[in-house]
Amino acid sequence: MEDSYPYQLYQKAKKFGVWNPQNIDFSQDQEDWKTLPVKQKDWILKLLAQFQGGEEAVTLDLLPLLMVIAKEGRLEEELFLTTFLYDEAKHTEFFRRVLNAIGEKGDLSHLHSDSYRKMFYEILPETMERLWHDQTPEALADAATVYNMFSEGVLAETGYKGFYDGLQMIGKMPGLIEGVDNLKKDESRHIAYGTFLLQRLICEHPHLFDRVVKKLEELAPLAISLNTEGIISDGEKAKEYKSEIKNYSKKQLMVRIDILAKAKGQTIEEIYRSTGGN
For residue 276, what pLDDT is reported? 46
Q: What is the pTM of this model?
A: 0.89
- Whether 154 shows a pLDDT value over 90: the answer reads no
- Whether 142 shows a pLDDT value over 80: the answer reads yes
- Whether 234 shows a pLDDT value over 60: the answer reads no
Q: What is the 3-state secondary structure (H, E, C) of 36-101?
A: CCHHHHHHHHHHHHHHHHHHHHHHHHCHHHHHHHHHCCCHHHHHHHHHHHHHHHHHHHHHHHHHHH
- Model confidence at 277, pLDDT cuts 50, 70, 90, reads very low
For residue 77, what pLDDT is reported? 96
Q: Which residues contact 233 (CB under 8 A, 6 or more apart)?
A: 241
Q: Which residues contact 168 (CB under 8 A, 6 or more apart)?
A: 177
Averaged pLDDT, 188-213:
93
Averaged pLDDT, 2-21:
94
Considering the chain, what is the average pLDDT of its residues?
89
Averaged pLDDT, 90-116:
95
For residue 272, what pLDDT is reported? 83
d(CA 192, CA 85) in angstroms, rounded, equals: 15
Which range (42-56, 96-110, 167-181, 264-278) has the least confidence? 264-278
Could you give all domains of the chain from N- to C-terminal order, each with its CATH number?
A: 5-15+24-272 (1.10.620.20)
- Whether 194 shows a pLDDT value over 80: the answer reads yes
